[in-house]
Amino acid sequence: MSPLRRRAGMVGRYVGLLPYLGFALFPFYWMLLTSLRSNAEIYDVTHLSFLVRQGLTLQHYSALLTRTLFPTWFWNSLLVSVLATAISVIISTAAAYGLVRIPFRGSAAFSIGIFVTYLVPPTLLFIPLSRVVTALGLSDSRLSLIVTYPTFIVPFCTWLLMSYFATIPKELEECAIVDGATRWQALVKIVLPVALPGVVTATLFSFTLAWGELIYAMTFIASGPHKTLTAGAVADLIRGDVFYWGPLMAGALLASIPVVIAYGFLMDYYVSGLVTGATKG
């Protein structure tokens, strides 16, 4: 192949990626544009502009922050996601370690059980779970989500962490245990530091899953001030007067920020988790 043809091929590939990049990113761009435009411009159907023409405005953001429960929902989402993630990662780390390193009667069956549970979508069980939540006296509380979110996070994280732990040489812990360390000490002091990328990945995925969850949040929580961002945005921001697209887009963007920031800093972990989950499955 001549260098010229090779270069042409290279350019061709980048050009081939462009339509897809447009498809992937345009919705976000348009959301941003809408959130910064005045209502007059948003609803002007005679002009189609891909820039802000009549001056940037933060009116939608200020409406969102002062006239809706958005700040409360944000705090609720943060509380629920952080606690559900912390609980899930601890439970999953212990379970994954136990399953990979300390075989016991039934551990193979339980591994398969974890895998099957990992495939269970939240939409399969939200109705019976809502009865369980009521029976536990947790209806309409943020605690209901902190308790139920681990049901879909733990199987996922356990599965992910099992494949990380399996790659760590046993000899590392053998030495520690021979030296008199307990299993727990071996896990915390020897294995976890080595498996830290796996734990970071699991934490990132847990947080993302909890942050974006919708159906449990809509089913278990009825009153506005207890809602999470997703349920609040979908159920309470959509009602109202005609001019709601601006605040709604501002809300969707602001709500995405924590996840996007975490992802920006930890993209390599994210990709490794995606690939591990996908190819080891």
Partner 1 sequence: MGRGRAEAAVPVTPLGGRPLGRPPTASWLWRGSELTGFFFVLPAALLVVGLVAYPFCYALILSLTAKQAGVPGQFVGLRNFANLFGGDIFLHTIRNSFVFTGVAVVCKTVLGLGLALLLQRAMVGRRFLRGMILLPWVVPSTLSVLGWWWLFDPISGVINLGLMKLGLITQRIPWLSDPAWAMAAVIIVNVWRGLPFFAISFLAGLVSIPEELYEAAHIDGAGGVACFARITLPLLRPVLGVIILYSIIMTVSDFNIVYILTRGGPMHSTHLFATFAYEMGLASGDLGKGAAISLFIFPFLAAVAYCQLRITRRQTQ
- Which residues inside 212-271 make contact with partner 1, applying CB under 8 A? 212-215, 218-219, 229-230, 233-234, 245, 248-249, 251-253, 255-256, 259-260, 263-264, 267, 270-271
Query: Shortest gap between Cβ of 208 and partner 1 (angstroms)?
Result: 7
Q: How far is the CB of 258 from partner 1 (least distance, A)?
A: 10
User: Closest separation between CB of residue 159 and partner 1, Å?
Assistant: 11
Furthest-apart CA atoms within the chain: distance in Å = 77
Between 131 and 239, whose beta carbon lies closer to partner 1?
131
- Of residues 139 through 158, those in contact with partner 1 by CB under 8 A are 147-148, 150-151, 154-155, 158
CA 18 to chain centre: 27
Alpha-carbon distance of 72 to 137, in angstroms, equals: 23
Rank residues 98 and 198 by Cβ distance to partner 1 and give the closer one: 98
DSSP category for residue 225: G
Q: What is the CA radius of gyration of the chain?
A: 24
Tell me the window of 7-15, 55-63, 138-146, 194-202 that interacts with partner 1 (CB under 8 A). Answer: 7-15
The residue among 201, 220, 96 whose CA lies nearest residue 149 is 220
For residues 98 and 101, give the distance between their C-alpha atoms in angstroms, rounded to a whole number: 5
Kindly state the tokens that stand for 43: 């609803």
Considering the complex, state which of residue 59 and residue 115 has its C-beta at the smaller distance from partner 1: 115
Nearer residue to partner 1 within complex by CB, 59 or 87: 87
Binding of partner 1 at residue 161 (CB under 8 A)? Answer: no
Decide if 164 contacts 100 (C-beta within 8 A). Answer: no
178-217 binders of partner 1 (CB under 8 A): 178-180, 183, 208, 211-215
Distances (CA, A) of 72 to 76, 212, 213, 241: 6, 16, 17, 21
Question: How many other CB atoms are there within 10 angstroms of residue 93's CB atom?
Answer: 23
Residues 57-76 that bind partner 1 (CB under 8 A): none
11 lines the binding site for partner 1 (CB under 8 A):
no
Single residue of 7, 8, 25, 240 touching partner 1 by CB under 8 A:
25
Residue 79 near residue 145, CB atoms below 8 Å: no
Convert residues 86-125 into a mask of x (bound to partner 1 by CB under 8 A) and - (unbound).
-----xx-xx-xxx-xxxxx-x--x-xxxxxx-xxx-xxx
Confirm if 216 and 274 have CB atoms less than 8 A apart: no
Closest distance of CB 99 from partner 1, Å: 6
Sign of the alpha-carbon dihedral angle for 164, 214, 251, 43? positive
